[in-house]
Copies of this chain bind each other. A is one copy, B any other.
Amino acid sequence: MSFEKEIASHFTNGHELYLRNISVDCVIFGFHQNELKVLLLQAKYAGIWALPGGFILKDEHMDEAAKRILKNRTGLNNIFMQQFHVFSNPGRSTKAINQQFLKNVGIEMKESWMFERFVTVGYTALVDFTKVEPIPDVFSAASEWHHLQSLPEMILDHRNILDTALQQLRTNLNYHPVGYNLLPEKFTMPELQILYETILNRKLDRRNFQRKIIGTKILKKLDETKKGVAHKAPNYYQFDLKNYKRALQGGLGFQLS
């Protein structure tokens, strides 16, 4: 099917395949060696960028839809994503954007399910961005990791969705462990601190951080130091996976039992 035919069919008949009025958008944060990035797609015909998003098939679980969308639109596979917030401002109309898109493709259409209002469910994940290679699909001109400090212009309320996800990621550092799959199996306390500082985008007090993170019991201190560093060789740690997983579930905080 040609690109134009595929687009026309989606706008004319998509509502026979997908649920109406509800969509999914994915905020995929990538971390590697002191850099935090987010994955964005650039729509064909438009310079503007968007979160990878799409629709829920009529017989599909929303979590499966999020996975399918991410895989189809970026090439990323086997990413564990969590729903984090539903965005339902009645002003978030996709009508004008979709009409302009059709015009650019050279299609005229008066009515479409794609001109209706969409409530969108935000999904988020934090991955090692070197382990995945984004591939744009037929609807997108590019699929790229962007630095959070230099974001391009984004469509609709996607900047707000991204900011909300980032805020929740930062707040979640107070409740939940982070770092597994992002750090090497053995890591030093300064390396762990830099992960937190990169996500929070600010410096933390070294002693305070060390005291608190050790207090959470998610770390095991290894009987081994990092070689080849200039000053006092720092100790290696690894995650205590039993405690790490328990804290993922029940939280790091004020445990009553």
Q: Are B253 and A175 in contact (CB under 8 A)?
A: yes
Nearest to A212 among chain B residues (CB) is B254
Q: Does A119 contact B (CB under 8 A)?
A: yes
Interchain CA distance A60-B63 in the complex, whole Å: 25
Q: Are A88 and B117 in contact (CB under 8 A)?
A: no
Q: Does A90 contact B (CB under 8 A)?
A: yes
Q: Does A160 contact B (CB under 8 A)?
A: no
CB distance from A172 to the nearest CB of B (A): 9
Question: Which residues of chain A in 157-171 are interfacial with respect to chain B, using CB atoms and an 8 Å cutoff?
Answer: 171
Q: How many residues in A have their beta carbons less than 8 Å from beta carbons of B? A: 42
Q: Are B253 and A254 in contact (CB under 8 A)?
A: yes
Which residues of the partner chain B approach A196 to less than 8 Å between Cβ atoms? 256
Interchain CA distance A200-B59 in the complex, whole Å: 36
Interchain CA distance A152-B91 in the complex, whole Å: 40
Q: Are A254 and B83 in contact (CB under 8 A)?
A: no
Question: Which residues of chain A in 216-257 are interfacial with respect to chain B, using CB atoms and an 8 Å cutoff?
Answer: 216, 250-257
Nearest to A193 among chain B residues (CB) is B256
Which residues of the partner chain B approach A252 to less than 8 Å between Cβ atoms? 253-254
Q: Does A89 contact B (CB under 8 A)?
A: yes
CB distance from A169 to the nearest CB of B (A): 13
Q: Are B86 and A61 in contact (CB under 8 A)?
A: no
Which residues of the partner chain B approach A119 to less than 8 Å between Cβ atoms? 19, 22, 56, 62
Which residues of the partner chain B approach A103 to less than 8 Å between Cβ atoms? none
Which residues of the partner chain B approach A83 to less than 8 Å between Cβ atoms? 85-86
Which residues of the partner chain B approach A173 to less than 8 Å between Cβ atoms? 254, 256
Q: Are A63 and B88 in contact (CB under 8 A)?
A: yes
Q: Does A204 contact B (CB under 8 A)?
A: yes
| Top 3 A-B residue pairs of the complex, sorted by shortest distance between their CB atoms | A253-B253, A62-B88, A19-B21
